[in-house]
Amino acid sequence: MLDKMIALVAEKFVGKFDKGGQPYILHCLHVMNAVCPKQDDHELMCIAVGHDLIEDTDITGDDLRAMGYSQRVVSGIEDMTHKQGEDYLDVYIRRIAANPDTRVCKREDLTHNSAIMRMKGLREKDFRRLEKYHRAYQYLED
Query: Structural domain tally of the chain?
Result: 1
Q: Which residues pair with 23 in a beta bridge?
A: 17
Q: pLDDT tens digits, residue range 70-104?
A: 999 999 999 999 999 999 999 999 999 999 999 99
Consecutive H or E run containing 9:
helix 2-12
Q: What is the CATH number of the domain that holds 125?
A: 1.10.3210.10
Residue 42 lies in domain: 2-141
Q: Which residues pair with 17 in a beta bridge?
A: 23
Q: Which residues of 113-127 are buried (b: 16+ CB within 10 A; e: fewer)?
A: bbeeebbeeeeeeee
pTM attached to this predicted model: 0.89
Query: What mean pLDDT do residues 49-67 have?
Result: 98
Residue 89 to residue 107: CA distance in whole angstroms: 14
